[in-house]
Amino acid sequence: MRTPASTPGEAASAPLAYDGDKLRAPPDYREWIYVTTGIDMSYSRVNLPGHHMFDSVFVNPAAWQAFKRTGTWPDKTVMVLEVRGANTKGSINKRGYFQDAELMGLEVHAKDVARFGGDGWAFFAFEDADKPATMISRDNDCYSCHKAHGAVDSTFVQFYPTMLTLAKAKGTLSASYLQDVAQEKPAAQ
Ligand code: HEC
């Protein structure tokens, strides 16, 4: 998959662009606020042998400005998660991993109360960055896992270093996340 082509002049203040009932992949998300990169993060303990992956998260600048003030996400927040393979052989590299140029996955978590109702959040997964995607249906486990374990408003702020401190200070951590933390056993290793 290719990184979506950037369209100069597309308003940064309007990160959500729909095509009928579908969402277009935000073309300029790589110019947004960098949130985090995880490596080989997994919801299960199963490891894919010999296959390492980076996932990086970006958020639209207006949402981050609001988060800094309030510790939570405003309406019209758009978060993008991109997945890239981890390469080790290339150029002068001898050890460690760098991100592959080819995109392996592109997912969006977007908040649009008028459009989606309820808490406003909806998930999308793009098979091709140039083709709009249909909203993932509400019975998918995207919704249940994010709602049950996301630290702030169904997003995984516990893994977003610059955001977690702010959320703690503003007291916006979700009750379910605080319960998760309370149940965590001290590290045995
Ligand atoms: C079992 C739990 C779980 C499920 C199921 C899940 N996610 Fe996530 N998701 C995570 C975790 C953990 C992160 C944090 C990733 C990081 O720190 O790099 C995350 C982050 C994200 C983000 C970045 C913004 C945010 O909300 O924090 C997007 C976008 C996303 N997931 C999309 C999806 C989509 C689409 C699905 C369903 C197809 C899905 N997720 C299913 C656990 C889950």
pLDDT above 90 covers what percent of the chain? Answer: 84
Burial class (CB in 10 A: 0-12, 13-18, 19+), 20: exposed
Distance 102 CA to ligand 1 centre (A): 20
Q: Report the alpha-carbon distance of residue 143 to residue 69 in Å, rounded.
A: 26
**Single-letter amino acid code for the residue at 68:** K
89 band by pLDDT with thresholds 50, 70 and 90: very high
Tokens of 129: 């960055």
- Chain centroid offset of residue 115 CA: 20
pLDDT score, position 189: 53
**Predicted confidence (pLDDT) at residue 10 exceeds the cutoff of 60:** no
pLDDT score, position 75: 98
Encode 81-95: b = buried (16+ Cβ within 10 Å), e = exposed.
bbbbbebeeeeeeee
Note the pLDDT tens digit of each residue in 54-72. 999 999 999 999 999 999 9
Q: Report the alpha-carbon distance of residue 55 to residue 85 in Å, rounded.
A: 9
Of ligand 1's listed atoms, the one at least distance from the Cα of 159 is: 17
**Predicted confidence (pLDDT) at residue 100 exceeds the cutoff of 70:** yes
Tell me how crowded residue 11 is: count the other CB atoms within 10 A of its CB.
8
The single residue listed with the structure tokens 């649009």 is 112
In testing the pocket of ligand 1, which one of 39, 57, 135, 154 has its CB within 8 Å of the most ligand atoms?
57
Closest Cα partner for 78 from 17, 137, 130?
A: 17
pLDDT score, position 4: 67
Of all protein residues, whose CA lies closest to atom 17 belonging to ligand 1?
159
**Single-letter amino acid code for the residue at 142:** C
Distances 48 to 41, 42, 61 between C-alpha atoms, Å? 11, 10, 34
Contact 27, 33 (CB under 8 A): no
Q: Report the alpha-carbon distance of residue 68 to residue 146 in Å, rounded.
A: 21
Question: What average pLDDT does the segment 103-117 reach?
Answer: 97
